Amino acid sequence: MTENKGSKILVFSTEKISDPAIDLAGLLKMHYPPTVYTINIPCSSAVKSRWIMHAFNKGFDGVFIAADGTDCAFDESCTDNTAKVISRTHELMKEKGIEPARLKMAAICSVCAEPFVKQMKSFAEYLSKS
């Protein structure tokens, strides 16, 4: 299904912080693989492992959490909580025989367009190799 089209990446972005950064990337005409799809949620620590696993099951090659980091408007525990979700999901992925590296997280601030593009490029490259 994904042959020759590049690896499909699902990005969970957050409405206030990382989604504006992804918008900004487009605004600045920065390019990243067109197989990157974004779903936005209020806060990165709200991502359920179940959604991530669903994405893998349905055929996504990688999932990327564009986290709020310390800029989170809700609470500073966001970074920790998001990290915990990731590590729990990594466990689930191992059980299912999915390579944990296919789930990544990085803090993307609201103007971090360039870091986001870099993340996407390197992630896509990594996924296409593995």
Interface positions with another protein (CB under 8 A): 1, 5, 8, 10, 16-17, 19-32, 34-35, 37-39, 41-43, 45-51, 54-55, 58-60, 70-71, 73-75, 77-78, 81, 84-85, 88, 109-115
Question: Whole-number minimum distance, CB 40 to another protein, in Å?
Answer: 9
CB of 48 to another protein, least distance (A): 5
Q: Which C-beta is closer to another protein: that of 114 or that of 125?
A: 114
Shortest separation between residue 130's beta carbon and another protein, angstroms: 19
What HEC string does the chain produce? CCCCCCCCEEEEEECCCHHHHHHHHHHCCCCCCCCEEEEEECCHHHCCHHHHHHHHHHCCCEEEEEECHHHCCCCCCHHHHHHHHHHHHHHHHHHCCCCHHHEEEEECCCCCHHHHHHHHHHHHHHHHHC
Q: Which two tokens stand for residue 16?
A: 């206030």
- CB closer to another protein, 77 vs 130: 77
The CB-of-11 to another protein minimum distance in angstroms stands at: 9
